Chain A
Amino acid sequence: MTGIIDYGVGNLFSLKSSFAAIGEECVVSGEADTIRKADRLILPGVGAFEDAAEKLRSSGLFELLLEEAGRGKPLLGICLGMQLLFEKSFEYGEHAGLGLIPGSVEPIADLIAPGLKIPHIGWNALRFTRDSELFRGVEEGSHVYFVHSYHAAHCEGYVTSVTDYGGTLTASVQRENVLGCQFHPEKSGAVGLRILKNFTDL
C-alpha cells in the first residue's frame, strides 16, 4: 500500500487515478497512523516552496516524514514534493526543506540560455546519469512532462537523470530510499505509469 501525503497542496486526483490504472493500492491521507502503516510514501506538491514547507510543519508531517524516511521507508517526492526533500530553497527568499538529500533548490533562470521561456513547461527527454530502480524498463530519451521554474542544484552525487533546456536541469534524484522526480509521472503517459509502477516495487 502506497501512502500519498495529503497536506492541502496540489491536485491529487491524477496521482490517485494513476494507481488505479497500474493496479496498485494507494491511500491519500494526512493522518499519522495511516502514513505510518503505508509501505511507501509519495510527497506530491504544486505551488510555492515556502507555503508548502509551512503546511508540512504546521500539520506535523515534517517530523513524521523525517522519521519514516529515517526508518528506510521508500519516499518519492514529485515536483515541489521533490524540491522539499532538499536542505533549502531559494524561491522567494531562503527556506529550509526536509534536508533528506544534500543540495538546494535554485531558479532555472540562472542557468538556461537567455530568451527561453520560464517556467519550463512541456515534454522533455530524460538522460540517465546513474542507475535507478525508478527507471527500470524506461528507455533513455523518453519524454516526461515538466512544469517548473526551480530545480535541484549542488546535489551531483544524487542525480539519476537530467533534461536539457538550454542548460542541464535536474530531472530526478535518489539517495538510498529517498527519491524525487521534478517531472510529473502521473501526467507523463505510459512512461510515467511505468515509473510509478517501478516505485511500488521498492
Chain B
Amino acid sequence: MITKRIIPCLDVRNGRVVKGVNFEGLSDVSSPVELARYYSASGADELVFYDITASAEGRRLFADVLTEAASQVFIPLTVGGGINSLEDFDRVLKCGADKVSVNSGALRDPSLIERAAKRYGSQCVVISADVKRVNGVFTVFARGGRDNTGLEAVGWIRRCVESGAGEVVLNSIDTDGVRGGFDLEMLRAVSEAVSVPVIASGGAGSVQDFVTLFKTLPRVDAGLAASILHFGEVTVADIKKALRAEGILVRI
C-alpha cells in the first residue's frame, strides 16, 4: 500500500533557505542544496522549494540553486512561488522540478491551472492554498497570506482540482509557525471534498503531530514541515519511526 509522505519545505530567498514564523520575521537557516541532500539522505519522500524572491536577480539565484539540487537529489521536487504563467512553469521545469505549485497565480488567473494541466499533465500541477478562518469561514488568502480574497476555501480548492490540479497543499495560516499541531479541522474539510492527494502544511511542532495527523485523517497523504526539521530538533527518520510504531505505512 502507498506510504504517507514526509515533505520538508525549503523557503528560498536570494539562494538561501529561510523560514517565516506566521510569514514574518524571516531568519536565514542554511544552503538549499546542502539541505536538499541532507533531507534526501535522511529519508524525505519529496522536497518543496518555495521561491519567496521578488527580484530578477533572486529568481536567477533560485534557478541555479534548484538546478544544482535537482541534479544531486533523486526524489520528487516541487517548486512554488511566483508561478503566474506557463512561462513560469517552463522556467522551473527546465531546472529539474517535477511538480509546480500555484498559489496567488491561480487566484489572479484561474485558467492557469487548466492550461498548465493540459500542457504538462495534472501530475505536474499542485494547487497551494493559504487559508485562514475569517468569522468562522475558511477563507483563501493571497500574496503569502497578506490579502484576503474573500473566497471560501473548500469551494475554491474543489474548483482547482476540477480544472486539473493533481495535488493540494493546504497551508493553514491559523496554525502556521505556531508549532501546536496541524489544523485538523481545516484539513478534514478539504480532504473530504477532493479526490486527489492532500498535503498538510502549517503547524508541525513535534513528531506526535504527524502521528495525530495521519491517525485522525487517513485521507491526508503527506505532511509538510520546515522549521521543526531545519533546526534539527526532529529528523525525518524520527517522524517515520514514530509513524511506523503506530502502524502507519512509511518508506524507511
In whole angstroms, how far apart are the Cα atoms of A186 and B77 in the complex? 12
Q: Which residue, A46, A192, A193, has most C-beta atoms of chain B within 10 A?
A: A46
Decide if A83 is an interface residue (CB 8 Å cutoff). no
Decide if B197 is an interface residue (CB 8 Å cutoff). yes
CB of A5 to closest CB in B, whole Å: 18
B5 CB contacts on chain A under 8 angstroms: 122-123
A122 and B93 form a contact (CB under 8 A): no
B166 and A11 form a contact (CB under 8 A): no
Against A, the Cβ 8 Å flags (1 = close, 0 = not) of B201-238 are 00000000000000000000110000000000000000
Binds A, one of B15-23, B52-60, B67-75, B149-157: B67-75
B121 and A47 form a contact (CB under 8 A): yes
In whole angstroms, how far apart are the Cα atoms of A65 and B107 in the complex? 44
Decide if B45 is an interface residue (CB 8 Å cutoff). yes
Decide if B31 is an interface residue (CB 8 Å cutoff). no
Decide if B103 is an interface residue (CB 8 Å cutoff). no
In whole angstroms, how far apart are the Cα atoms of A117 and B199 in the complex? 13
Against B, the Cβ 8 Å flags (1 = close, 0 = not) of A176-196 are 000000000011111011000
B45 and A46 form a contact (CB under 8 A): no
CB of A143 to closest CB in B, whole Å: 4
A1-42: which have CB < 8 Å to B? Answer: 11, 13-14, 17-18, 20-21
B1-17: which have CB < 8 Å to A? Answer: 1-3, 5
* Given A17-B71, A143-B251: A123 touches B93 (CB 8 Å cut-off): no
B98 and A117 form a contact (CB under 8 A): no
Q: Name the contact of A122 in the complex, choosing from B40, B72, B98, B221 (C-beta under 8 A).
A: B221
B166 and A122 form a contact (CB under 8 A): no
A13 and B96 form a contact (CB under 8 A): yes
Decide if A145 is an interface residue (CB 8 Å cutoff). yes
Decide if B184 is an interface residue (CB 8 Å cutoff). no
Against B, the Cβ 8 Å flags (1 = close, 0 = not) of A134-176 are 0000000001011100000000000000001110000000000
A187 and B76 form a contact (CB under 8 A): yes
In whole angstroms, how far apart are the Cα atoms of A121 and B2 in the complex? 8
**How many chain A residues have a CB neighbour from B under 8 Å?**
33
Q: Name the contact of B123 in the complex, choosing from A14, A147, A190, A192 (C-beta under 8 A).
A: A147
Main secondary structure of the interface of B (DSSP, over half): loop
Please give me the residue from chain A that is nearest to B40 by CB atom: A189
Q: Name the contact of B197 in the complex, choosing from A48, A121, A166, A189 (C-beta under 8 A).
A: A121
In whole angstroms, how far apart are the Cα atoms of A120 and B123 in the complex? 10
Decide if B176 is an interface residue (CB 8 Å cutoff). no
Decide if A118 is an interface residue (CB 8 Å cutoff). yes
Decide if A72 is an interface residue (CB 8 Å cutoff). no
B3 and A143 form a contact (CB under 8 A): yes
* Given A14-B74, A21-B74, A123-B2: A117 touches B121 (CB 8 Å cut-off): no
Q: Name the contact of A187 in the complex, choosing from B74, B93, B197, B251 (C-beta under 8 A).
A: B74
Please give me the residue from chain B that is nearest to A147 by CB atom: B123
Decide if B196 is an interface residue (CB 8 Å cutoff). yes
CB of B122 to closest CB in A, whole Å: 8
* Given A119-B166, A193-B74: A166 touches B98 (CB 8 Å cut-off): no
Additional A-B contact list (12), CB under 8 Å, known A122-B197, A123-B251: A14-B98, A17-B71, A18-B74, A20-B71, A118-B195, A119-B166, A122-B222, A123-B5, A124-B1, A187-B75, A187-B76, A188-B75
Please list the residues of chain A having a beta carbon within 8 angstroms of any beta carbon in chain B. Answer: 11, 13-14, 17-18, 20-21, 46-48, 117-125, 143, 145-147, 164-166, 186-190, 192-193
A to B CB contacts below 8 Å, 16 in the list: A11-B96, A13-B71, A17-B71, A18-B74, A21-B71, A21-B72, A119-B122, A121-B123, A122-B2, A122-B221, A124-B2, A145-B75, A166-B1, A190-B74, A192-B74, A193-B74
